[in-house]
Amino acid sequence: STQASIKADIAKLEDKVNSNQATTAINSAQIVYSLEPPEIIERVKRANNIIIWNAPENVDDAADKSFVLDLVGKMDAQAITSIVSIRCLGSRQNHSRPIKVEFHSGSVALNLLQNKKMLLSHSDYRKKALSDDKTPG
């Protein structure tokens, strides 16, 4: 009976330790997540984007899409399959609006940015510029 009582006490202590470890793991995950401010999360999302400057102001989204597909295709034909969305920024006015292109991964966007000098060899795109996405949301 003393031995049985000791075993029961040990089992209770083990349960408490296991419960505390699980709670600590959950609390640690919550603390780490709360340390990531929304700004960092937004930057990670924007890493998948590029901005195209000096693009022609088109009358419809289909023409914008065609322009982007042609430009990206001249730089890296495989990157076309990674495009998630194409969107003009700002309101339609008498000047060229930048075009935001979102890709599935940041590596595709980074590759295009690193090779943007390739545009100089294409007469249609010499005056176009690419940059990373610093726009909010």
Q: What CATH architecture is 42-132?
A: 2-Layer Sandwich (3.30)
pTM above 0.75, yes or no: no
- Confidence at residue 116, expressed as pLDDT on a 0 to 100 scale: 87
49 against 124, higher pLDDT: 49
Note the pLDDT tens digit of each residue in 16-73: 777 766 655 555 556 555 556 777 777 878 889 999 999 888 878 889 999 999 999 9
Query: Is-contact 51 133, C-beta < 8 A?
Result: yes
Residue 80, pLDDT above cutoff 70: yes
The full set of domain ranges for the chain reads 2-35, 42-132
**CA separation for the pair 55, 68 (Å, rounded):** 9
Q: Using a CB cutoff of 8 Å and minimum separation of 24, what contacts does 11-16 make?
A: none
- Confidence at residue 27, expressed as pLDDT on a 0 to 100 scale: 59
DSSP β-ladder status, 83-88 and 99-103: antiparallel
CB atoms within 10 A of CB 66: 13
Residue 87, pLDDT above cutoff 80: yes
Average pLDDT over residues 77-96: 87
**CA separation for the pair 58, 80 (Å, rounded):** 20
